A = this chain, B = another copy of it.
Amino acid sequence: MRPLGIFDSGIGGLTVARAVADRMTGSPLLYFGDTAHLPYGEKSPHLIRHYASRISHHLRDEGCRAIVVACNSASSNALESVRDAVGPDIPVVDVVEPVVAHLRDRWPGGHIGVIGTRATIESGLYQRLLTSAGLEVTARATPLLASAIEEGFHQGAVSEALLAAYLGDGIFDAVDALVLGCTHYPLIADQITAHLPPSVEVVDSPAIVAEAVAALLPAETGASPDPAHRFLVSDWTDSFAHGARRFFGDAIQLEASDLWKR
């Protein structure tokens, strides 16, 4: 059975992989974390497209039947490059468009907040799509959050100080919902919620993306009760190997890929 390809700049996209694995039971995943080049959130659009395109070629060559761009920075800057790379026969799901479609239905005419990396927010994609869907948008880049979470600072004074710095001026107090526009942020959803008025709904992007994957792909034959997922990283370190469990839930084995050394 052909795997579902999923990629991210690192291991944060495993939050999306987890949701997809839960929703698409029986489907093997082929995950690629571009740890050699993370974080994408501080890279230029040009470079993000270059990396995303190469990884997408690789996932296509590995026989993936669909691609999930499990990275907001790549979804915001490189979606066309991914589609060009894999061609018209392989469907591509990103983490921005399904969330916008969900918000359009859930909060018609509402006011949406978005936080994400600098690359995601500066691309303006969330802002354009939400505005086109008739929603008001307030967006802010919160660049250090992803690295802090990746370093394990996700339930303490450091993430607290960061959230106070990024959200303390009440920028999102009047929104209906806040999009966590980075795959790392679900790990601190509770802390983020505590920095917002109770009226603000925090959007569960991974679950919405998993629904979009399920809606796009045909019913499967040959699904296995215990599919063999694979998790590749372009630079293997102990730190990534240990951190992966935080994002995926289960203990998983990361394999080193030589994609960038060929």
Of the candidate stretches A42-50, A54-62, A94-102, A177-185, the one touching chain B is: A42-50
Asked if residues A153 and B144 are in contact (CB atoms below 8 Å), the reply is yes
Q: What residues on B are CB-neighbors of A118 within 8 Å? A: 237, 239
Q: What residues on B are CB-neighbors of A38 within 8 Å? A: 42
Query: How many copies of this kind of chain does the complex include?
Result: 2
In this complex, the member of A118, A144, A158 whose beta carbon has the largest number of chain B beta carbons within 10 angstroms is A158
- The CA of A4 and the CA of B250, in the complex, are separated in Å by 50
Question: Does chain B have a CB within 8 A of A148?
Answer: yes
Number of contact residues on A: which range applies?
A: 20 to 34
Nearest B residue (CB) for A45:
B237
Question: Does chain B have a CB within 8 A of A214?
Answer: no
Q: What residues on B are CB-neighbors of A158 within 8 Å? A: 144, 158, 161-162, 165
> Would you list which residues of chain A between 130 and 153 have a CB under 8 Å from chain B?
143-144, 147-148, 151, 153
Q: What residues on B are CB-neighbors of A236 within 8 Å? A: 44
Asked if residues B147 and A156 are in contact (CB atoms below 8 Å), the reply is no
User: What's the minimum C-beta distance from A97 to chain B, rounded to whole angstroms?
Assistant: 25
Question: Does chain B have a CB within 8 A of A216?
Answer: no
Given contacts A44-B237, A235-B44, contact A157 B151 (CB under 8 A): no
Question: Does chain B have a CB within 8 A of A1?
Answer: no
Leading 9 A-B pairs by shortest Cβ distance:
A157-B161, A161-B161, A158-B161, A144-B151, A147-B147, A44-B235, A47-B235, A44-B237, A143-B151
